[in-house]
């Protein structure tokens, strides 16, 4: 939207204000109005009814997760549909899907910070929260796939146990453990560090004694001293610099789980970049899925502007095209390799029993995203919401196709079989969506969903140089 639309002939003051306001925030905001708009969501006494409804749905799904996990631990992983030859199915599909979603949060908070992209400011906080919750959901799948996670510690983590056993460090699965646990830890540190100055704001503005105490404890006594800010900013920049290669490494390592094996359809050098692009693509779709209701229901359109929506759509377009290139590349090399196994794998994907999923994913990730070229589509919020949900479906299908079609027709035709998920597979998947949404609802109710102090830095008042004309 054109900010000048409201003013047919802007007065000199208005024109000056517009000139000083970056295009990522609606003009006219001050330190106080920015703070007030964001803290109001948290500090208000009245929780909107819609919040309760949303949380209720999420909570029901969360209970489905509890029930599934309970049954899984009592009965064993036989309740899932995966069996030889499809030894990996929903557990790894959902793991990769969730961890990929998380990547957009780190991209926004770290990489866009290094590139000095101001539009990241109003979406980084909840995108980081999304990362954290998505990593939590992702981590549950491989852990529970071990069947008895309390015994898994000695396979996964190097600690001196009484059996004298050590993990196999030459296995991509162990690399995965280190990559994901490092990623989860660094994301949590980054997120909490970013929250502290805002928690101090909440501490100072809270009316109830309990809120003052709780936010006060979490704010660690932050007082905004110049020396503290200097170290804080240095740390923030360093963490961003550290997280940038980290986020690229995490999905590369996830792709090694497949690429290091010798299975047709997995053993491909394009996997790391193709997985990273797919992760960012699906992650931005999830940010969009969360941002659209958030800005509408909480009236945050001034901060999450159309500019943000457009930029996110463009990132999805670019990364989606890289993913589509990955599909083309897979098909090309299946033919170019002249390996009968590779050729059969691709032929089976395109025409075999799971072909409908393959073509759906091509329809979404290669064809549908071409809609993002059009400005009228990028301006259409309800349509974008639906498209972003479809992108998430498409990326889930991608992982399904990669994992299941390569496994169900392996080298020995005598062991060929079909894979079908059971209701417990679905229960677990739907349950993690419930966990994710429940955490997200709690987050927007109790913590500032937009980084307040960073928003203050982009209001025109914050500039020291421009004001020193006297």
Partner 1 sequence: MAEFETPAALVEAATKARLAGYRKMDAYSPIPIEELDEALDLRRTRLPLLVLLGGIAGGIGGFMLQVWASAVAYPMNVGGRPLISWPQFVPVTFETTVLGAALTAFFGMWALNKLPQPYHPVFNVDAFTRASTDRFFLVIETADPRFERSATRKFLETMHPVGVSDVEP
Residues that bind partner 1 (CB under 8 A): 30-32, 35, 158, 164-167, 169-170, 172, 174-175, 178-179, 182, 185-186, 189-190, 193, 197, 200-201, 203-205, 220-235, 238-239, 242-243, 245-246, 249, 253, 256, 453, 456-457, 461-465, 467-468
DSSP 402: I
Residue 358 or 453 having the CB closest to partner 1: 453
Residue 177 or 395 having the CB closest to partner 1: 177
Least CB distance to partner 1 at residue 354 (A): 31
**Helix, strand, or coil here: 83?**
strand
Least CB distance to partner 1 at residue 205 (A): 7
Residue 197 or 320 having the CB closest to partner 1: 197
Least CB distance to partner 1 at residue 131 (A): 14
Work out the end-to-end distance of the chain between its first and last CA atoms, rounded to an integer number of angstroms.
34
Least CB distance to partner 1 at residue 197 (A): 7
**C-alpha of 40 from chain center:** 26
Least CB distance to partner 1 at residue 259 (A): 12
Contact, 429 vs 62, CB < 8 A? no
**C-alpha of 99 from chain center:** 7
Tokens 């998920």 -> residue: 421
Q: What are phi and psi of 83, to 5 degrees?
A: -155, 160
Residue 222 or 298 having the CB closest to partner 1: 222
Output the six-digit token pair for 213: 């105490």
Question: How many Å apart are CA 456 and CA 29, to the nearest integer?
Answer: 9
Question: How many Å apart are CA 203 and CA 209, to the nearest integer?
Answer: 10
Least CB distance to partner 1 at residue 244 (A): 10
Least CB distance to partner 1 at residue 137 (A): 21
**C-alpha of 217 from chain center:** 28
Output the six-digit token pair for 443: 């987050």
Least CB distance to partner 1 at residue 278 (A): 20
Least CB distance to partner 1 at residue 267 (A): 17
Q: CB neighbours (10 Å) of residue 376?
A: 8
Question: How many Å apart are CA 280 and CA 274, to the nearest integer?
Answer: 10
Residue 29 or 295 having the CB closest to partner 1: 29
Question: How many Å apart are CA 281 and CA 304, to the nearest integer?
Answer: 19
Question: How many Å apart are CA 268 and CA 265, to the nearest integer?
Answer: 7
Establish whether the linkage from the previous residue to 440 is cis, with ω within 30° of 0: no
Least CB distance to partner 1 at residue 231 (A): 5
Q: Is the dihedral of CA 317, 323, 328, 329 positive or negative?
A: positive
Distances (CA, A) of 438 to 52, 286, 393, 445, 455: 11, 15, 20, 11, 26
Residue 337 or 457 having the CB closest to partner 1: 457
Question: How many Å apart are CA 326 and CA 101, to the nearest integer?
Answer: 18
Question: How many Å apart are CA 265 and CA 341, to the nearest integer?
Answer: 9
């Amino acid at each position: 939207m054109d900010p000048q639309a409201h003013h047919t002939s802007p007065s000199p003051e208005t024109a000056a204000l517009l000139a000083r306001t970056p295009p990522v925030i609606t003009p006219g905001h001050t330190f106080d109005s920015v703070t007030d708009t964001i803290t109001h969501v948290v500090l208000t006494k009245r929780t909107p009814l819609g919040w309760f409804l949303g949380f209720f749905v999420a909570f029901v799904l969360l209970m489905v997760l509890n029930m599934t996990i309970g049954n899984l631990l009592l009965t064993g992983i036989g309740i899932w549909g995966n069996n030889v030859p499809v030894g990996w199915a929903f557990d790894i599909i959902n793991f990769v899907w969730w961890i990929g979603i998380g990547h957009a949060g780190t991209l926004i908070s770290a990489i866009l910070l290094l590139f000095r992209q101001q539009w990241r400011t109003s979406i980084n906080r909840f995108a980081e929260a999304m990362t954290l919750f998505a990593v939590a959901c992702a981590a549950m799948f491989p852990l529970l796939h071990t069947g008895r996670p309390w015994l898994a510690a000695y396979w996964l983590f190097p600690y001196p146990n009484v059996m004298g056993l050590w993990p196999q460090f030459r296995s991509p699965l162990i690399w995965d453990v280190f990559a994901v646990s490092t990623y989860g830890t660094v994301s949590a540190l980054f997120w909490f560090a970013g929250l502290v100055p805002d928690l101090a704001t909440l501490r100072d503005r809270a009316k109830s004694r309990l809120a003052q105490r709780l936010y006060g404890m979490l704010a660690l006594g932050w007082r905004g001293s110049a020396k503290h800010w200097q170290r804080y900013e240095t740390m923030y920049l360093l963490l961003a610099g550290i997280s940038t290669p980290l986020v690229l490494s995490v999905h590369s390592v996830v792709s090694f789980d497949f690429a290091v094996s010798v299975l047709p359809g997995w053993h491909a050098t394009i996997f790391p970049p193709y997985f990273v692009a797919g992760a960012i693509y699906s992650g931005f779709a999830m940010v969009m899925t969360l941002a659209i209701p958030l800005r509408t229901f909480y009236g945050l359109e001034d901060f999450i502007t159309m500019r943000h929506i457009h930029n996110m759509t463009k990132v999805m377009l670019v990364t989606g095209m890289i993913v589509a290139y990955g599909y083309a590349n897979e098909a090309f090399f299946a033919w170019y390799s002249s390996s009968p196994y590779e050729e059969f794998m691709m032929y089976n994907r395109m025409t075999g029993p799971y072909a409908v999923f393959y073509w759906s994913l091509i329809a979404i990730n290669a064809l549908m995203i071409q809609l993002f070229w059009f400005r009228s589509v990028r301006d259409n919020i309800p349509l974008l919401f639906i498209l972003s949900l479809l992108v998430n479906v498409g990326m889930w299908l991608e992982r399904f196709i990669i994992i299941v079609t390569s496994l169900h027709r392996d080298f020995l035709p005598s062991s060929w079989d079909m894979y079908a998920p059971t209701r417990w597979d679905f229960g677990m998947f739907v349950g993690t969506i419930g966990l994710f949404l429940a955490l997200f609802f709690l987050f927007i109710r109790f913590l500032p969903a937009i980084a307040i102090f960073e928003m203050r830095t982009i209001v025109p008042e914050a500039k020291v140089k421009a004001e020193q004309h006297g």
